[in-house]
Structure 1
């Protein structure tokens, strides 16, 4: 079934915040701030493009606008070879928060490994309701969304890497090369090898040689601020910031490779991957995009938070500051627990000792798994006994399956010894799943909003209430300002309060 395109009729409910006129103006201006928020279908050529496409703009009467690449492909259109829709940042900011979080999990490959019924159950809704939400918000069925995700990932790897087509098929989530070829031909009308010949991807390789991929984002983006954040928090033996790039070891089974992320040309980062199997690429891309907050719509977030005079001034001094996240939910929880009531430097020192002890006992230079953490001797590691018990309690709960960090509620986490509201709020904020998470009891935030004095928690909550649903970004901006020029922030706070 063909989905209705975006227009000005009552049936157009797929992008409630963007009118046809807004899409028209954005594509003519090639406005990068709208990249990924909609796609332009050109009916006369049968292709769909990003709003930044460098090709000559088609006439408006030949154009239809779609809320997602999946909707355009379900309408029978093929991706443009010039602007490459597979590289567009995601537009989860246009979606209800709960649906956006679920879609992010699908972007990470959960629907490839599981079922829609399981995702619906975890979201607390019926499968029928979830299907209706896909049609409403994305203009496509769940099946089409997942198929488009796989095909566009395969197209990206065909174009940007010299990986063998068989490796690409399995990396994209297809269970056989035949299924991949069939799906590709039905969607794009040509064989995968034909696209590779057209694009000239180079000599085909197999195995685990170095690969380089481009990761676009919508401007503004303060890459230097992100590097400064990760430089201060790099865990010895696991990660480092060297020069203008972030590097870390990454284990997949028994294979250990490493990745490097740095500023690329234009509005993009460059990801270099060494010694990892092709099947690890989807998960790696998902982690990096989430960690570096590459899909944020800073225009929308800035407009909303800019209604607050203090945040408007902070934004004017430090535009493009994002919400840095961690590698995964488990690592972020370890960081949050170890970081309770200690400096960042002190917490990183302890985490480095955890990596060293794990390597000494288990032969792996990594943070301990829950099972390993339960077996480690943590005496003399630099933490009070109460915090050691918190780590061991978390490890036991995770190892036994009593909780899963992917689905844990606040109530389940609060039931663990030593985990309180600050730890949960900070953990959710740094996981990259909840942009509204806000640790109101954080001392730095209290002083940031109090002009250098500790503002009471009720006052912090009252002042931050209008910032919803982007309070996490407000916290990130305030933390950054306090680390860069606290005296300026205190001056701004005092002048606005006068």
Structure 2
């Protein structure tokens, strides 16, 4: 977790490792850059703290974490704190109190800081015009953009671009290339392996250590590529139909590969566990993956763990941490997913890497002809799609774990393991998609069972 140091006498805040040497009695610390900015401090020009990972501590209440995920998804772009609170079942006043108590900022201040920091990175790294940077960063107007940048960085966007360093600029032969910062350790090999094992055919691909996927933005198609970049960042190349709202594309991509939360407290508490502790010591950079599309993740998990496809052979017992890659029925599950994509998804031509379609919407799947898919599985997929399309099942990040898994289990054919995997990918930190052979010890891993599950998954024999 990055801790920012703010100096009272200069009004400047820095990231760890900055060469500045202020007197200790003049220093305040903040866990979020946004909190330092809310107190009137401005970013150091030397260490540029806006270029490091600005994650929320994993010891924040789960309600606050769910609110943060909604902000990252763009809820406050077109709505206010009242609407955000309503989605979480609380008043805006109570929500602001929670944010102030645990993050040191209001939801609006948190959202504004994220937009300003993203814009500053675009000004440094890209050749986008000032106007494109403004709208890519989620600002509603150039006036709003200029005002926010002056408040956060004490300079205009043009002045900030003139200060950028030559080494910041990222060359791109098409698309927008951006650094995705993280605080080490981060295990990209483990994340890429998990994404490869769970890739939806035609939609996702992992080749040569690079994850690629198709995306659809308001019906227009695009492509994302994520791969290793350096000791403290991944590289994202985004081929987008338009730049407006690119911040949410980048943040959703960061959520997908587990960059929005650092499991500092979770890893510290699980380190003493006799089962999980040695796994954490061996691979301390394991993170919990998120989801690009909630409905896509739900269909993938429901199919992969459908009872009709995953029934073990007589006498076979699943082992602790067994992964989807160990299941004899995985090939059949992938064939089912490929069929869903083929009949309901939008075809994309000329991308290569096995990418042929964008994943379909719930409405498209609900109306699709799923002939050729085993009957029990097809009925479950249809039922899931209908519930989501009708609004009876919400796959939003703000849903509590028990509420989400209960709603999924109410659909015939959705297994407990599938429901827990969906919850894990949607950000429930206590989701526990462990096979029944490992149920007994996992109570000791609360409330961090999602991280424990990822360590078991990464350690499972292939």
TM score, norm. by length of structure 2: 0.85
- Does 1:398 pair with 2:388? yes
Do the aligned partners of residues 345 and 424 (structure 1) sit closer, same or farther apart at CA in structure 2, a change above 3 Å counting?
same
C-alpha contact (below 8 Å) 1:232/1:345 kept by paired residues: no
- Does 1:468 pair with 2:446? yes
Gaps of 5+ in 1: 1-33, 450-459, 485-498
2:367 aligns with: 375
1:430 aligns with: 425
2:85 aligns with: 120
1:79 aligns with: 43
Q: Distance in 2 between matches of 1:187 and 1:222?
A: 32
- Does 1:175 pair with 2:143? no
| The 10-residue stretch of structure 1 (361-370 or 86-95) with the greater mean CA deviation from structure 2 | 361-370
C-alpha contact (below 8 Å) 1:219/1:298 kept by paired residues: no
1:345 aligns with: 331
Q: Distance in 1 between matches of 2:348 and 2:93?
A: 46
Cα deviation per residue 1:416-439 (whole Å; 9 max; x = unaligned)? 3333433221210122x1121013
Do the aligned partners of residues 416 and 113 (structure 1) sit closer, same or farther apart at CA in structure 2, a change above 3 Å counting?
farther
Deviation at 1:209, TM superposition (A): 4.2
Matches within 5 A, 1:29-48: 34-35=1-2, 38-48=3-13
C-alpha contact (below 8 Å) 1:158/1:196 kept by paired residues: yes
Deviation at 1:330, TM superposition (A): 0.8
Gaps of 5+ in 2: 311-328, 350-355
Q: Which has the larger radius of gyration?
A: 1
C-alpha contact (below 8 Å) 1:252/1:280 kept by paired residues: no
2:433 aligns with: 439
Matches within 5 A, 1:243-262: 243-262=208-227
Q: Distance in 1 between matches of 2:151 and 2:248?
A: 26
| The 10-residue stretch of structure 1 (80-89 or 285-294) with the greater mean CA deviation from structure 2 | 80-89
1:190 aligns with: 155
Do the aligned partners of residues 81 and 350 (structure 1) sit closer, same or farther apart at CA in structure 2, a change above 3 Å counting?
farther
Q: Distance in 1 between matches of 2:277 and 2:392?
A: 44
For residue 279 of structure 1, give the secondary structure of its aligned residue in structure 2: coil
Deviation at 1:370, TM superposition (A): 1.3
1:14 aligns with: none
For residue 275 of structure 2, give the secondary structure of its aligned residue in structure 1: helix
Do the aligned partners of residues 258 and 46 (structure 1) sit closer, same or farther apart at CA in structure 2, a change above 3 Å counting?
same
Higher RCO (Cα < 8 Å, 6 or more apart): 2
The alignment's C-alpha RMSD in Å is: 2.7
Which of 21, 24, 48 matches 1:60?
Answer: 24
Deviation at 1:100, TM superposition (A): 1.2
Matches within 5 A, 1:288-299: 288-299=253-264
Deviation at 1:172, TM superposition (A): 1.8
Q: Distance in 1 between matches of 2:161 and 2:338?
A: 44
